[in-house]
């Protein structure tokens, strides 16, 4: 199983950014896909998850949107109104049998991360 995240970069507060993650080696449609993030010196935290429905962290509600394309084995995270507090390395993950879980331990497969930096 491989998950490859891309789309990170340096943006200014208020800007938008779209992250994507390409998956291979798994029955993509059977997995819950999620995005987590890890800021410097902090633990990895849940951002959003999608199976046939979605779930968001409070910090992401109203600003971020997760989507999936089962035909192309990709999951994306549209991030709007970015804030400096959103600065982190963002990781995509896949979990089988996970009901939109929010814990890192529920996901068995992880991408390498893509860095997002939001300047004020």
Per-residue pLDDT at 97 exceeds 90: no
Please name the residue that has the structure tokens 């804030």: 83
For residues 32-51, average pLDDT: 97
Phi-psi region of 39 (alpha: psi -120 to 50; beta: other; left: phi over 0): beta
Q: What is the pLDDT of residues 57-87, one digit of tens each?
A: 999 999 999 999 999 999 999 999 999 999 9
Residues contacting 42, CB < 8 A, separation 6+: 88
Residues contacting 17, CB < 8 A, separation 6+: 7, 8, 9, 11, 79, 82, 116
Residues contacting 12, CB < 8 A, separation 6+: 118, 119, 120
Per-residue pLDDT at 99 exceeds 90: no
Q: Say what the pLDDT of residue 98 is.
A: 85
């Amino acid at each position: 199983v491989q998950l490859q995240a891309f789309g990170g970069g340096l943006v200014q507060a208020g800007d938008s950014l779209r992250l994507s993650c390409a998956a291979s080696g798994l029955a993509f449609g059977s997995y819950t896909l999620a995005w987590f993030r890890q800021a410097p010196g902090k633990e990895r935290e849940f951002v959003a998850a999608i199976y046939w429905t979605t779930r968001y962290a409070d910090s992401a509600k109203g600003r971020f949107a997760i989507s999936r394309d089962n035909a192309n084995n990709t999951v994306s995270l549209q991030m709007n109104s970015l804030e400096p507090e959103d600065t982190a390395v963002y990781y995509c993950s896949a979990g089988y049998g996970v009901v939109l879980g929010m814990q890192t331990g529920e996901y068995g497969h992880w991408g390498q991360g893509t860095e997002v930096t939001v300047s004020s």
